[in-house]
Structure 1
């Protein structure tokens, strides 16, 4: 019995050794081809090319210029309430990841003393309403920035900071002037710069050029290069052109093209107080920048159809990252025409132009899309 057990054990061992010889060290079966042995190699898994895309949206509006008749209309027992003026267009301002506006009348607050044309200063509640309506960034470089001097500028800057509003174009120090404001949305970094042609003859206080950015190509070039290095999309606000002219001047177009060549991706025009057309600018390096030469008045006490019409520009930035490069493309520009409505200088509000004047709405569409056939209208 023991002998038979030994024989069986020996037979089992031989069988195991035989079978183990038919497999590789990794367990892969060995196939014999003639007198050579080949192993079946594992199938290589080649990772697909990594491509990551992200999209962020930006909106922009024109001049917020608070005349006396506007802030008196907003007056309450305890201060001022501008929120009802923005109520109808708030959904259009909130829909984008970032919304920028031109704060034309300095928001220096009551302590500086409220004032109207030709030397403006507005209550802090204007800033509160802008923030509540969905505005995230304000451009401060315009011809009224120095209306009430350094005190009003510093007061406005402090209040914008207090409510968490990003601002550009005016600064309280050289150190602040040298900082490029940025906002990141969906992995895309936006930077903001702002410059004005002048200040109605009011000089900047001696030794304090940092208070206000004036249009100067050399300085703009330096700032644009710095902003481009710090962000994916450079948004440039330019206060330029001639008031009440519906077409840009040659100087406006030349400056916009210059800025695009230096790295500006989105160029927003202010000052004419009426709408001027938009344009795609092809740069020498093969990229495209988008410019709208004037966004008109968004909220003001000015009268006359053209001066009461403004709007909201919408545009998307698409960022694509692959193994070899990162590309940024602006796409899908659209526009929402708006109108400042009032009754005998009362009940000021921003409404959709299509509801106020359908004929003017169609004319504005034709005017704005003169050079940009892919400009859509979001109403």
Structure 2
């Protein structure tokens, strides 16, 4: 019996030696830091929160291209706003120009817009994540222009373009997961300046009939796509190019569309097209809550004198909103918190040079008085009055 015990002991000892040798030669497992209960909760909460930045139109126009041709540093334009995009998790805007290629030459005038690839690189460098490409300029260079825009951002960045389609109309490609929160994006426009041929209308998000005959079929498709996306994501964001230009007030049609989207479960609606800021509001109903930005106004623009409007909206054209907010996800649902905005001034001097986007709290008296439109009453008083009149205090920067 003793011999048996000794034999078993030797076998056991040899087994231990081999096991230790095996462990020594393996890569160590990832060390997990032990946290207190409160620290663990903080880690979980942080993993299920996302900070968003929302801006308006990237509307590149001829005067800015002229400035670049005359040696302007393209890094100047975003230098004062880039900080907002460096620490966020998701940024969203409206790309209101197509990106050209060797066959599509740049243009920034006569309501026909095609930006060079250098502009695309500038937008990529800002740190954008999602761009709507559904707006009234989506057909300025036809399907080739839409495809060129989609291809540029797909090949040169991680930016998701939504609202136009190169191949099949697959809306479920428009999903991004950020910090364990699944975001879905849809984008629609009332139409395009150059009417899209009937056979290509499935290549762009339209909520109205370009022929003005059967708006119902387009709204039906929009409802179906919203309902489909709603089932797949935690947060549903719809970007709308709607309404009329040069007004601070959304029309009844926009409010009706917003109510319809609220009933379908849309969480956030981001509007554009007016080239001026419009109100922000909550729609609250039995269906839930929807945050609506009726219009963010321009982010990028370069028109000093707009022939089809008067002084007030010539000036309103030079400012837009930048909004930040936080999305929180827990076991009970999704919460939109800490919604704030700040006015962004599109600055250019009396010679239409030195373009830069300037947050209101950095808009010095020197910048104010040297702005091209200062002599036309575009001053701090105009900016603050428009901001405080149009945007409810709940959403203004604290």
Question: 2:229 maps to which residue?
Answer: 227
With normalisation by structure 2, the TM-score equals 0.75
Alignment of 1:264-343 (within 5 A): 264-285=266-287, 287-303=288-304, 304-321=314-331, 326-343=332-349
**Aligned pair 1:105/2:112, yes or no?**
no
The answer as to whether partners of 2:171 and 2:229 remain within 8 angstroms in 1 is no
Q: Among 79, 89, 92, which residue is 2:84 paired with? A: 92
Deviates more, 1:273-282 or 1:335-344: 335-344
Distance 1:206 1:318, change over 3 A: same
CA distance in 1 between counterparts of 2:130 and 2:383 reads: 27
Shift, 1:231, TM fit: 1.1
Look up the SS of the partner of 2:324 in the other structure. strand
The answer as to whether partners of 2:223 and 2:264 remain within 8 angstroms in 1 is yes
The answer as to whether partners of 2:98 and 2:115 remain within 8 angstroms in 1 is yes
Distance 1:210 1:92, change over 3 A: same
Distance 1:183 1:279, change over 3 A: same
Shift, 1:362, TM fit: 2.6
Q: Among 176, 180, 187, which residue is 1:187 paired with? A: 180
**Aligned pair 1:171/2:165, yes or no?**
yes
Residues 270-295 of structure 1 deviation map (CA, whole Å, 9 limit, x = unaligned): 0000000100011322x211001110
Question: 2:21 maps to which residue?
Answer: none
The structure whose Rg is larger is: 1
Distance 1:309 1:207, change over 3 A: same
Residues 127-157 of structure 1 deviation map (CA, whole Å, 9 limit, x = unaligned): 2111211211110000000011111111111
The answer as to whether partners of 1:82 and 1:125 remain within 8 angstroms in 2 is no
CA distance in 2 between counterparts of 1:227 and 1:74 reads: 41
Look up the SS of the partner of 1:73 in the other structure. helix
Alignment of 1:1-379 (within 5 A): 53=45, 54-75=48-69, 82-116=74-108, 117-163=110-156, 164-174=158-168, 176-200=169-193, 202-215=194-207, 216-285=218-287, 287-303=288-304, 304-321=314-331, 326-343=332-349, 344-354=351-361, 355=363, 356=368, 357-370=379-392, 373-377=393-397
Shift, 1:161, TM fit: 0.2
Larger relative strand fraction: 1
The answer as to whether partners of 1:172 and 1:210 remain within 8 angstroms in 2 is no
Look up the SS of the partner of 1:336 in the other structure. strand
CA distance in 1 between counterparts of 2:130 and 2:56 reads: 12
Unpaired stretches in structure 2, ≥5 consecutive residues = 1-39, 208-217, 305-313, 369-378
CA distance in 2 between counterparts of 1:284 and 1:135 reads: 34
Residues 187-233 of structure 1 deviation map (CA, whole Å, 9 limit, x = unaligned): 11111111000112x23234222321101321111111121112111
The answer as to whether partners of 2:183 and 2:234 remain within 8 angstroms in 1 is yes
The answer as to whether partners of 1:276 and 1:367 remain within 8 angstroms in 2 is no
Look up the SS of the partner of 1:112 in the other structure. coil
Superposition RMSD in Å: 2.1
Shift, 1:244, TM fit: 0.5
With normalisation by structure 1, the TM-score equals 0.79
Distance 1:167 1:186, change over 3 A: same
CA distance in 2 between counterparts of 1:140 and 1:283 reads: 30
Residues 19-56 of structure 1 deviation map (CA, whole Å, 9 limit, x = unaligned): xxxxxxxxxxxxxxxxxxxxxxxxxxxxxxx9864211
Look up the SS of the partner of 1:331 in the other structure. strand
Larger relative helix fraction: 2
CA distance in 2 between counterparts of 1:219 and 1:206 reads: 15
Unpaired stretches in structure 1, ≥5 consecutive residues = 1-49
The answer as to whether partners of 2:171 and 2:186 remain within 8 angstroms in 1 is no
